Structures are given as structure tokens and as C-alpha cells.
Amino acid sequence: MKRLLPLFTAISLTALSGVTSAHEHDTVAAMADKIEPDVIKWRHHLHQNPELSNREFETAKYIEKYLRGLGLEVTTGVAITGVVAVLDSGKPGPTVALRADMDGLPVPEQNDLPYKSTATGMLDGNEVPVMHACGHDTHVAMLMGAAKILTEMKDELRGKVKFIFQPAEEGAPSGEKGGAEVMVAEGVLKNPDVDVIFGLHISSNTDVGTIRYRHGGIMAAVDPFKIVVKGKQAHGAYPWKSVDPITTSAQIIMALQTVVSREIKVIDDAAVVTIGSIHGGNRSNIIPNEVTMIGTIRTLNKAAREHMYEAIPRKVKGIADSMRAEAIVTLPLDYSYPITFNDHALMDQVLPTLVRTAGQKNVINSKAVTGAEDFSFFQQEVPGVYLWIGGKPLDVAEVDSPAHHTPEFYVDDSGMKLGVKVLTNLTIDYMKSAK
């Protein structure tokens, strides 16, 4: 991992954010107010025209046209549909990357909105409804807003800004690769070499006007797996003639839960192992010869993740052997995301910026979540910070706010202005802190 540029002490950083950048922060706030209607307009357009992972062709064209209109150097077709733009201040300094994801989900929207999505797309050969059910439309709009402000403040910057609009965060279609991992492999963090990267995620369960952050792991690593249990088929009336893969699978499912409850130090970080799909047999009176299970592992530190990789095959093999069955474990199955890990030193450095931007009471040290984000691939290469931005209306109770990835998912437009200011201020303050 690339080393951070030299940091000031916590005291001098606070002074830096509070004094050196006071003028810039005020300017950013005024400009964010001015362009908020545009940010909302962009978001509504994107929300009405969502596209699935690796199919964000029109979204990419929309972003590209806007960035070229700002006079930026633009590269398209990165990781299939990704768009990358560079703002060069013309002065020496660090390169700060800002990232937004672009893809929608195969979810039918049920919200009654003027900009409701009625779009469809093709997934695995089937036509499916498409919706921005995780807020990626807001992420793009916020980064477009930050790009406009930073471009207009170019004379006050030092170094370069790289704007990364990423496809396929939700996972590439079957048989394809995509997302941050592919962008990294294609050199998105090179030429110019990125020093730090920042990203935001809107939250439907967090109040508008607030930021949630965490040092270290903020979102879990995700590792899908498959288990195939092979036995011996027999008539259901004569089970002693079988090697039953269904009862074997049942014991495996229950035993896997003990990896977390009895082998992971859960007082340090949470971990999850879930079987989400199980298939075997086709009649009530036939014991099949094979059962297939698919599941997911979520971990928040490296030690827990490594333990899961060792423990799951061990548990599966032991139970299968005891039942006279054979079991084949594929781990990871098709994709794997590392832990979304906020660099401790960088998180310390940017906290004064967050406080100055949102106010002390609105910057919340949050618990980690067991959802996953492929922003983690960028953080494996350079120090990075990932934050949650509130999108829940203040008059809606958290218990009543809709979950991400559901047809009812909703975030308020008013939450985006803070995201625009945060992305912009993080960039300006980091540049000014760098020697």
C-alpha cells in the first residue's frame, strides 16, 4: 500500500481545517447552495434512467458529456463503462481520487415519485425491472457537483483530482467481471498516481445532514461459497440403503453457525455465515444423490476472514465424513470483496474537515455494517476513507425508513448537498495539508 504523505499533528491539523481552509469552506458552502438545484436535476434524470451493472452505457454518456463541458480530461470505457476525469491545477501537489458508483439493481420501484423508474434491462437472458435501489444515482450527482465546484476553484488547488465514476459495484453479470477490481487492474489509480481516495454512500436510515464514519473496517469483506454434498440415492421408504445428502446438508448448515458463535472472537468484530440457497431432490419419496448449497461469509477483520476460510472446509468435511458422504467446497465461489477499511491515519486527518463541514454533533462515530462494498479494492492499493451520508428525512423515524435494495428504497434530495461539500472539502483540505 502506498504510504500517506506526511501528516501534521492532530493539533495542527485542527488548526489547518479551522483557519487555513476557512475561506475555502465558506466558498464551497455557497457554491453548493447555488448548484443544489442542478444536483437534484441530475439525480432525477439518473433515477429515471437506471442501468444494470456493466450496462451503464447511457449513464456513462451523460456523465462524459457533463465532464467534457467542464473542460476536464476524460477517459471512457474503463472497466467496460467507467468514466474517469482528471482536473490538473497546474501546481505541484498530491493526486486525490473521488469515486462514485453508477449501477442500478433488478428491483421494481414502488415509490410514487415524479421521477419514478419504469426502466427495464436484461439479466441472464430475462427482462427485469431496474431501479436505483441503493442510491447510486445520488452518488453520481454528488460527484458531478463536487467536480463543478473544484473545477471552478482550480486556482486554489494544489495537485490533481481524479474523478472516478465506477460501474458494476453491485456485481457483474454471470460470466463477466467488473467494478472496482477491474478498474484497479486497468490502472485507474495510475497516471497520475493516486495518493488517497475518498468515497461516500447515501444512507436511507441516517438523518439528512449527518455523516457516519469509522476507523478501520466500516463494511465487511464478502466471500460467497458453494458446497456440493454427494451421497447415494435410494427410495425414501428405505433410507438405510442411502447415503443421505439432505440430512448431511442439514447438519452442515447448523454446524456452520458454530464457527461464528464458538470460534470467532465476536467481542472484537462481528462475522456472519449464511446459507442462502439449497437445492436437492425432486420427489417426496426419493432420497437424492446430491445437494447443492450456496452461501456468503461476512467478516470485519483479516483474522476472522482467514479463520472462516480454514474453518468452513474443516466443518464440512468432518460432517460429510461422519455421514459417509462426500462434500466439495468452493470458496470463494465467483467474486470476493475485501474489507472496506478506513486507513486510521487518514481518518484522523480528515475528521476536522468533516466536523467543520457538518458540525460536531452531526459527525457520528458509527458501528461497522456487514454489508460489503468494492471500494475496498481501491483501499487495498492506496489509503482511503469511506463515509455514510444521511438521506433519511428528519420527519421519518428510523424504524420506518425503507431498506436499501428494496422496491420502497427512498432517500431525500436534500441529503446530497452535504455530500457535495464533503467531497469538495476533503479534497481541498488534503491538498493543503500535503507538504
The answer to whether the CB of 87 falls within 8 A of the CB of 149 is no
For residue 243, with 0-12 CB atoms within 10 Å meaning exposed, 13-18 middle and 19 or more buried, which class applies?
buried
Identify which of 52, 99, 108 has the alpha carbon closest to the alpha carbon of residue 80: 52
- Active-site residue, 169 included: yes
Sign of CA dihedral 429, 216, 140, 93: positive
d(CA 206, CA 392): 5
What span, in angstroms and rounded, lies between the C-alpha atoms of 344 and 115?
40
Residue 158 near residue 57 (C-beta atoms within 8 A): no
* Cell numbers standing for residue 73: 480530461
3-state secondary structure of 142: helix
Hey, how many other C-beta atoms are within 10 angstroms of the C-beta on 359? 12
Given the residues 56, 103, 373, 412, select the one marked as catalytic: 103
Considering only CA atoms, which of 167, 97, 101 is closest in space to residue 134?
A: 101
Q: Give one word for 43, left, alpha or beta, with left for phi > 0 and alpha for psi -120 to 50.
A: alpha
Q: Which of 101, 109, 169, 413 is the catalytic position? A: 169
Q: Is 263 a catalytic residue?
A: no
Q: Could you give the residue numbers annotated as active site?
A: 103, 169
